[in-house]
Amino acid sequence: MRSTDKILVVGAGFAGAAIARTLAEAGYGIRVIDKRGHIGGNAFDNINEHGERIHRYGPHLMHGNPNGKAVRWLSQYTEWIEYEHRVRALLADGRTTPLPVNRTTLEDIFGCALQNDHAAEQLLAEIRSEITEPTNTDEFFLANVGEQLADLFFRPYTLKMWGRPANELAASIGARLPVRTNRDDRYFTDGFQALPKEGYTALFNGILNHPNIDVQLGHPYEAGMEKDFLHSFLSVAIDNYFDYAFGELPYRSVIFHTSRSRHDQAAPVINFTDTGRFTRSTQWDLLPNSSKAPDGMHSQTIEEPCSIKDNPGEYYYPVQTESSKAQMKQYQSEAHKVANITFIGRTGLFRYIDMLPAVTMHLDLAEAFLKDQGPA
């Protein structure tokens, strides 16, 4: 196969894998490179020496439409194990309470008994601020849960997570977490909630196992390498690609601290409501596709958000502000001028994208390419 027939895909996460497999099945020779020494991007997992399955870059939970395009496509490469995720917040007195906020949470915080969902809705109506169209995340918190709950659950966590107060962040960031008046303590309510039975890495092995796909790990992108390919799909930081012509796009990173303990968490994930450095703790053997260690100990990972400057190259959360969105529009305008390159993934698109939407989006990109270019 001639080198000009080949496609370069930078990044072996969901974005790159979906594109690589789709184009490989259409006859294109695909070279997938990744700067890390493993496939799977931030969804990479592995079994540790104690038999526990660890998600190296924090917990990754699949949820969405059971009949959606992404679930149907991924199901070719994995069996699923059902899993409904639950999170609890640690309070100052040592108790934990459900998140997202529900009727039980309201009872725990306000020390009352709410007889039904209507009573919970009435309480929320009393404490909410009268903001009909929130313009930032802080206004969204106030409009949905009021001052006291915003101070307890959301403002400290947001400041730790994003490195800036909630009133500087787009309202869409706060809108990711619902508020409920019933006792449903599931983190998600989607019809499909599951984990790959043998883990994410096995799932990616299945996707990338095709004779037309060549995977090269520990192989970072270098400027100009796309010139050797018919087309390149780049999951690289778009601001870096254009030499920061319009300034550096802001990201938050995360440092992961894993240790072992005999303490059994009250839920797979515990959120910390204090003003300290850490946001949450995950206990891995509480996920159904993980074994439990025979010694009765539990591996737990605590997350410490940080500036990207403190963890270079480890991009996790694009910080969406009015300023950064304006910057990104300028980078997108430049990208449209570059032939034979498509920017993909979280860093190429400067978007925080859940896994199933990411799969759907990048399958659509690959299909659009085939519609335009035709099969190999």
Place of tokens 């570059």: 338
Q: Are strands 6-10 and 80-82 parallel, antiparallel or unpaired?
A: unpaired
Kindly give the confidence (pLDDT) of every residue in the chain, 376 residues in length, as a single tens digit, with 9 standing for 90 and above. Answer: 434 469 999 999 999 999 999 999 999 999 999 999 999 999 999 999 999 999 999 999 999 999 999 999 999 999 999 999 999 999 999 999 999 999 999 999 999 999 999 999 999 999 999 888 999 999 999 999 999 999 999 999 999 999 999 999 888 888 777 899 999 999 999 999 999 999 999 999 999 999 999 999 999 999 999 998 999 999 999 999 999 999 999 999 999 999 999 999 999 999 999 999 999 999 999 999 999 999 999 999 999 999 999 999 999 999 988 899 999 999 999 999 999 999 999 999 999 899 999 999 999 999 999 999 988 8
Q: Count of alpha carbons within 13 Å of 166, Cβ hemisphere only?
A: 22
Q: How far is CA 323 from the centre of its chain?
A: 22
Domains and CATH numbers, the chain: 3-83+191-247+319-373 (3.40.50.720), 87-174 (no CATH)
Could you tell me which of 1, 37, 41, 42 has the C-alpha nearest to residue 17? 41
Q: CA geometry: angle at 34 spanning 241 and 236, to 5°?
A: 20
pLDDT of residue 2: 39
Structural contact between residues 328 and 244, judged by C-beta atoms closer than 8 angstroms: no
pLDDT for 39 equals: 98
Nearest to 69 by CA among 330, 267, 366, 313: 366
Task: State pLDDT tens for residues 22-43.
Answer: 999 999 999 999 999 999 999 9
